[in-house]
Structure 1
Amino acid sequence: MGDIAVDSVRGQDSDQESEAARTSVPEPAPRRRKGRRRVMKAALAVLVLVAGGAVAVATLGPLGRGSGDKAATELPPSTAEVTRRTLQDTQSVDGQLGFGPATTLSARRPGTVTEAPEAGDRITRGKALYEADGRPVTLMYGSTPAYRALKTGSEGADVRQLERNLSALGYSGFTVDDEYTATTAEAVRAWQEDLGLPETGTVELGSVVFAPGAVRVDSVAARKGDTVAPGGKVLSYTGTDQAVTAELDPADQQLAKEGRDVEVVLPGDRTVKGTVKDVSTVIEPGNGQGEEAKTKIEVVVALGDAAARKAAEAYALAAVHVDFTSETREDVLTVPVGALLALAEGGFGVEVVKGSTSTYVPVTTGLFADGRVEISGKGISEGTKVGAPK
């Protein structure tokens, strides 16, 4: 390349350079803070470069005047090699290991609680979540909530859902479809007889609760002997599989797409795989005293494989970190962020060191991640030595 007029601010006593290196380069951030959005990382890198004084900033004149070589006595205090690697822009957020968000179960009919579960109990299909006035409220599996009584002549997806559960519980003589026929009613009467209920052939509203699968009782609001009214909270439940719940700002919602792979950092810095299972928007109302409502993106992460689930079993509840990867650059040339120099004409460069001389070379920067930056430029290749702070 052509000559470069150099006004270097590294020409200080070596002891001064060492002291500057110690005072101007910030300590590495704690692990959980490593995930900032790329624009934040770039801004931080620029701030370090500007504030780094003799360690990180060289002001270069216009390109094209002289060789740009420097005498050996002006070499940088240290060097680093250009290496080829994969960079990932990762945002890390706090999370809670548990069993995912809890769902509230409210009474649909009045009565006195005659049997109630304990927090931590697991309940499967066909078992009672609780009893009111001696009548069980039974768990069945399905995505459509119970919203009406089901009887002969009823049609719809909720009928199919009920019939699928009756079949799974061993009752037969009907076709699993959207129609509640006389044969469906016969199967319901057989089910009611087994539960000790009046054999009406009709599934009354409030006698069945549909959930996606088996549930774990998270908390109990109505104990044995308590009176409940329609709409009153009885208990809350979660799924039975451990999961991580984390919150993102709305601006970061694009990081959490259902099915996207993430990493979960357990206590002790054990990292396991996870997958985004559910993403929902949660609005926290204000306090009515001028505080505005807040919007958060709630993310539920399922533990990815058997090894991850086994590792998490040691913790019933625990604070964890979730690492979301927003961008990946594979097989790119990288240097430590501190090796970048701010150029007078704009942009960045590096100080290429060859033997007893060095030359300032402009570079194009790419992704900033994990204390390194992707670079490219004329004369930049794997193994090239560049100036770096001590």
Structure 2
Amino acid sequence: MLIAPAVAVVAAVAVVGALGLGGGDDADPRAPLRSGSVVSVTRATLTERTTVEGQLGYGAELPLPVKAQGTVTWLPEPGATVERGDELLRVDDRPVVLMYGSLPTYRSLGLTAQEDGRGSDDGNSDERENDGGGDAKSPNLSGPTAPPGGAGTERTSGSSRAARELKGMDVMQFETNLAALGYTGFTVDERFTSLTADAVKRWQKSLGVAQTGTVDAGDVIYATSKVRIGQPGTRLGSPVGENTLTYTGTARKVTVNASATEAAWAVRDARVTVQLPNGNPVQGTVAAIGKQATAPEGGGGEGGGTGRPATIPVTVAIGDQKSVGQLESGPVTVEYVGKEVNGALTVPVSALVALAEGGHGLETADGRFVAVKTGLYADGDVEVSGAAVREGMKVRIPE
């Protein structure tokens, strides 16, 4: 009679424990039966972001096209900034000056002598002459210069010598720079007149060189803007060579060796975010994309393969240079948008469940399971779609 009630009590306790309705001190009475949270299906924009490694710097150093011939007698310090009118170097103790422009120097500029006597008192050449004046092979380009003023004629050994003007876009480019430096008194055009020669003499006087009124091909070097001096390729006292002096632009930029198979993001003017070595993010835009892929350095493996993909160089420009601070170089991380879906139905990735029949599904708040098709994964969320999925529906996060 005492044994039967005891068995009944033990059985009751076992049922209660199996149902989770009782327990010891570790049980949490607030825990739900099946899940810890319920979330809503929301409509949002999903953005997939990818990061690649890059290098902050001033870009590749390029050789300056020094045309002056002689011995290098002075060089600027690496890292120095040179602007229009400043000296880039000295050759035979004669300054080589930076000017702004895209047309390279290919001839000397000045008033030349004309032996046939067909010259007018204002120094203008006869209209029957070569109006272009831009043929570098013309024997008149390097002839004697005109007397001061550049006008009129002079008698030499019984022959008449008249000043002849050069014409061309290179003349306009130089005159634009001369006027920008404050040496005016002439019209900025394609004609090198006696007034231009007078301004050149004043400029030459400021440089401390002979006031000839003629600009030799080696006297100036053109760049599109101010430059930053790189590492010199020669020493003082050495003759001028092809790599006498190198330069870069003055704006800091980022170079990325992007995988050739994953460089679809590298589109000109595409926006990216650059994480600096100090952790600060700055905005950048893709400025240039290389057209030639480069195989990775080093060997390894049979057949010389390395297992790493070929890369193409991508240059990222930084518009706000002040945002970079004092940093000049260092490793950085470039973040770009890989894919983006607007107005997608999304749930946390943790809400997905694997269905017995295959694929993914969601568990509704009332315990039903609905199949879904997944799309873009980004920032812990996933795009879902399906006939039974709608915005605002409640789904469980499986334990």
Q: Same fold (TM over 0.5)?
A: yes
Question: Can you give the 5+ residue segments of structure 2 that lack an aligned partner in the other structure?
Answer: 1-31, 112-132, 135-166
Q: Which residue in the other structure is 1:137 paired with?
A: 96
Q: Which residue in the other structure is 1:270 paired with?
A: 280
**Superposed CA RMSD:** 3.4
Show CA shifts across 1:308-344 (max 9, x none): x334114222211112224332342223345445668
Relative distance call for 1:381 and 1:101 in structure 2 (3 A) is farther
Q: Which residue in the other structure is 2:181 paired with?
A: 169
8 Å contact 2:65–2:221 — kept in the other structure? no
1:244 aligns with 2:258: no
SS in 1 for 2:197: helix
C-alpha displacement at 1:354, in angstroms?
1.3
Instruction: Mark the structure with the bigger radius of gyration.
Output: 2
8 Å contact 1:354–1:385 — kept in the other structure? yes
Show CA shifts across 1:238-257 (max 9, x none): 22222222222334454233
More strand by share: 1
Q: How does 1:97-136 map to 2 (within 5 A)?
A: 97-136=56-95
Q: Percent identity?
A: 41
Relative distance call for 1:215 and 1:361 in structure 2 (3 A) is same
Relative distance call for 1:258 and 1:288 in structure 2 (3 A) is closer
Q: TM-score, normalised by structure 1?
A: 0.68
More helix by share: 1
Which one of 375, 383, 389 corresponds to residue 374 of structure 1? 383
> Structure 2: how far apart are the matches of 1:326 and 1:181?
58
C-alpha displacement at 1:165, in angstroms?
1.0
- Number of residues of Structure 1 aligned to a counterpart in Structure 2: 310
Relative distance call for 1:230 and 1:304 in structure 2 (3 A) is closer
Show CA shifts across 1:18-47 (max 9, x none): xxxxxxxxxxxxxxxxxxxxxxxxxxxxxx
Relative distance call for 1:235 and 1:376 in structure 2 (3 A) is same
Question: Can you give the 5+ residue segments of structure 1 that lack an aligned partner in the other structure?
Answer: 1-71
> Structure 1: how far apart are the matches of 2:190 and 2:311?
38
SS in 2 for 1:88: strand
Relative distance call for 1:361 and 1:315 in structure 2 (3 A) is same
> Structure 1: how far apart are the matches of 2:296 and 2:365?
62
The residue type paired with residue 319 of structure 2 is G
> Structure 2: how far apart are the matches of 1:389 and 1:163?
77
C-alpha displacement at 1:360, in angstroms?
2.5
Which one of 204, 212, 233 corresponds to residue 200 of structure 1? 212
1:215 aligns with 2:227: yes
The residue type paired with residue 371 of structure 2 is V
Relative distance call for 1:200 and 1:120 in structure 2 (3 A) is same
C-alpha displacement at 1:79, in angstroms?
5.9
Q: TM-score, normalised by structure 2?
A: 0.66
The residue type paired with residue 86 of structure 1 is T
Which one of 222, 229, 242 corresponds to residue 240 of structure 2? 229
1:302 aligns with 2:313: no
Relative distance call for 1:146 and 1:288 in structure 2 (3 A) is farther
> Structure 1: how far apart are the matches of 2:55 and 2:296?
24
Q: How does 1:302-321 map to 2 (within 5 A)?
A: 302-305=317-320, 309-321=321-333
